């Protein structure tokens, strides 16, 4: 059914506390109905420069820690109050089931709460410089100061919580933020900005620029008042930002093709159940989603059978229905890409054990075996509801297979042997190794971030992000 024109909301850019509607617009769709739900404004270089100038000037205004804390705590309250509305927006703009959207709002609330709490703990340290020969008359300590204007660029898959992971710590640390949310799922970020203003955030501390990533990205790179880029998204854009940011700080939180080891001594049924639940959530569009499963030969038949059983219980459908586990992918184009990658693997000898069917933007939860390690579904980040299962004999082989990746964000290991767990913990090259849960475990205050092509420049999680979003300044005193 065609949605009536007047029901389509129009959103402006947020610059200097005002919502500015531009003539050029982009359409945002409901990912289930594929109908237009909103028009967003498109920022040009002029609006980018205006926002950066205001954000930069604001840095000379006082912004006391107690005020930052109060504003973030009020935002926490508002997020709790508006949970239902925000979850509804997230479901519409991403297609994820309503209960997952509610869980995202709860996580976003926690992220803001942790940010508020960390605001009170920002401090430098005493430095015993008098220990150096000739420095006995001096004392020193360090303080942590805001870096200044931070460009925060975010992806579509957790459109509220990942924005909170940037704005929360940035505000806690006393910075000003230029936010560029995903153009396909920008509405929850715009709603969050409304809440922050309602909570009393000084208007020039946050500007939100929607529109084309390349145009806004180029304007931000060209504007030397931007002190730092905090980016979550794909490798291509991340690498471009790194290349062009020059001497400025860049934090990149990128993708993964997460490896998970299932050792013979684990509880196979429990493991299969957890793997099925975590591999396909959000239609696999999670940077730490389970992608490669390595199972020890002797339990492989049983694991595959249980995994298939639990996977086939998952309900694919309308994200607003309570029974739904998996909604559509972000677009038909993405579902077609997944279909092509799976088909290519099958042409090269892989076998589909479950799923493997596309209907519009839907792709059924899919298990593939026998794929060659060079297949795109193994080597690239699939970012869709597909897992590849392969067997191994010894633990060294399993670890080598997990490490045979350009990425290194998180990995999972299921085992009841301490020795195997310890070996994996030390030898898997990733930002985190999760024992007896999958690679996709995350709570919002843990240090989160990858190595290799999964990330660079620092971890997220409010305490760790604040480290990156502040500079350490040393103060030396001489008693002459
Ligand atoms: P994307 O890289 O296509 O887009 C991310 C953001 O960058 C969007 O806001 C986009 O408009 C913007 N952008 C595009 N071109 C730009 C440019 N030239 N300069 C500046 N900004 C530009 O990613 P996506 O498709 O939205 O998200 C999927 C990716 O995000 C996956 O690779 C996933 O693994 C990754 N991701 C990583 C994490 C993490 O924390 N490590 C979390 C979630 C998603």
Q: What percent of the chain has pLDDT over 90?
A: 98
| CA–CA separation, 103 and 108 (whole Å) | 9
Query: 235 C-alpha vs ligand 1 centroid, how far in Å?
Result: 8
Closest C-alpha to 431, from 418, 442, 420: 442
Q: What residue's CA is closest to ligand 1, atom 31?
A: 234
Instruction: Give the contacts of 247 (CB within 8 A, at least 6 positions apart).
Output: none
Burial of 224 from C-beta contacts in 10 A (0-12 / 13-18 / 19+): exposed
pLDDT tens string 278-326: 999 999 999 999 999 999 999 999 999 999 999 999 999 999 999 999 9
pLDDT of residue 91 exceeding 50, the answer is yes
| Mean pLDDT across 451-456 | 98
- In tens, the pLDDT along 190-246 reads 999 999 999 999 999 999 999 999 999 999 999 999 999 999 999 999 999 999 999
- Tens digits of residue pLDDT in 384-430: 999 999 999 999 999 999 999 999 999 999 999 999 999 999 999 99
When pLDDT is cut at 50, 70 and 90, the band that residue 93 belongs to is: very high
Residue 459: φ, ψ to 5°: -95, 160
Q: Is 258 in the pocket of ligand 1 (CB under 6 A)?
A: no
* Residue 53 reports pLDDT greater than 70: yes
- Residue 148 gets the label, from left (phi > 0), alpha (psi -120 to 50) or beta, of left
Assess whether pLDDT exceeds 70 at residue 4.
Answer: no
Ligand 1 contact, 447 CB (< 6 A): no
Statement: residue 135 has pLDDT above 70: yes
Provide the pLDDT for residue 224: 98
Overall average pLDDT of the 430-456 stretch? 98
Write down the mean pLDDT value for the chain.
97
**Is there an atom of ligand 1 within 6 Å of 338 CB?**
no
Angstrom distance (rounded) from CA 280 to CA 270: 16
pLDDT at residue number 480: 85
User: Considering the entire predicted model, what is its pTM?
Assistant: 0.97
Identify whether 287 is a catalytic site residue: yes
Ligand 1 binding pocket includes 214 (Cβ within 6 Å) = yes
259-271 pLDDT, tens per residue? 999 999 999 999 9
At 334-378, the pLDDT tens digits run 999 999 999 999 999 999 999 999 999 999 999 999 999 999 999
Contact 386, 368 (CB under 8 A): yes
Q: How many helices (H) and strands (E) does the chain have?
A: 15, 25
Q: Is 254 in the pocket of ligand 1 (CB under 6 A)?
A: yes
On the question of pLDDT at 327 being above 50, the answer is yes
The pLDDT value given to residue 392: 98
**451 close to ligand 1 (CB < 6 Angstrom):** no
Closest C-alpha residue for ligand 1 atom 24: 155
pLDDT at position 6: 53
What is the whole-number distance in angstroms between the Cα of residue 231 and the centre of ligand 1?
7
Going by alpha carbons, the residue nearest to atom 17 of ligand 1 is 214
Reply yes or no on whether 380 is catalytic. no
């Amino acid at each position: 059914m065609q949605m009536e024109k007047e029901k389509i909301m129009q959103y402006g850019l947020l610059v200097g506390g005002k919502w500015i509607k531009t003539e050029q617009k982009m359409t945002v769709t409901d990912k289930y109905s594929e109908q237009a739900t909103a028009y967003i404004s498109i920022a040009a270089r002029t609006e980018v420069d205006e926002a950066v100038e205001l954000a930069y000037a604001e840095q000379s205004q006082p912004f006391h820690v107690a005020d930052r804390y109060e504003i973030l705590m009020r935002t926490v309250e508002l997020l709790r109050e508006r949970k239902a509305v925000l979850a509804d927006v997230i479901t519409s703009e991403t297609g994820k089931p309503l209960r997952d959207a509610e869980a995202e709002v709860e996580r976003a609330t926690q992220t803001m709460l942790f940010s508020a709490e960390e605001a009170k703990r920002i401090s430098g340290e005493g430095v015993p410089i008098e220990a150096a020969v000739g420095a006995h008359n001096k004392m020193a300590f360090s303080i942590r100061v805001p870096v200044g204007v931070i460009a925060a660029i975010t992806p579509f898959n957790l459109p509220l919580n990942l924005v909170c992971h940037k704005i929360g710590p940035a505000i806690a640390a006393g910075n000003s933020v230029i936010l560029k949310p995903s153009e396909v799922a920008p509405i929850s970020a715009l709603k969050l900005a409304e809440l922050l203003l309602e909570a009393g955030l000084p208007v020039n501390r946050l500007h939100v620029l929607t529109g084309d990533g390349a145009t806004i990205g180029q304007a931000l790179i060209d504007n030397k008042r931007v002190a730092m880029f905090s980016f979550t998204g794909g490798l291509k854009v991340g690498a471009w930002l790194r290349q062009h940011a020059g001497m400025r700080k860049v934090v990149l939180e990128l993708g993964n093709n997460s490896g998970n080891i299932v050792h013979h001594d684990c509880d196979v049924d429990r493991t299969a159940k957890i793997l099925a639940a975590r591999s396909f959530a959000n239609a696999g569009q999670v940077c730490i989603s389970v992608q490669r499963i390595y199972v020890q030969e002797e339990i492989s038949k049983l694991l595959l059978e249980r995994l298939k059983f639990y996977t086939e219980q998952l309900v694919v459908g309308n994200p607003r229905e309570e029974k739904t586990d998996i909604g559509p992918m972000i677009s038909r184009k993405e579902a077609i890409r997944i279909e092509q990658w799976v088909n290519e693997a099958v042409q090269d000898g892989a076998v589909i054990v479950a799923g493997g069917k596309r209907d519009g933007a839907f792709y059924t939860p899919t298990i593939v075996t026998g794929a060659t390690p060079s297949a795109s579904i193994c080597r690239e980040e699939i970012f869709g509801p597909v897992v590849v299962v392969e067997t191994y004999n010894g633990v060294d082989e399993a670890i080598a297979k997990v490490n045979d990746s350009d990425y290194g964000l998180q990995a999972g290991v299921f085992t009841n042997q301490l020795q195997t767990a310890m070996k994996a913990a030390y030898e898997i090259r990733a930002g985190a190794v999760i024992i007896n849960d999958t690679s996709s475990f995350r709570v919002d205050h843990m240090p989160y971030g990858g190595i290799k092509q999964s990330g660079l420049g620092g971890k997220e999680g409010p305490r760790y992000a604040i480290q990156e979003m502040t500079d350490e300044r040393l103060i030396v005193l001489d008693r002459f």
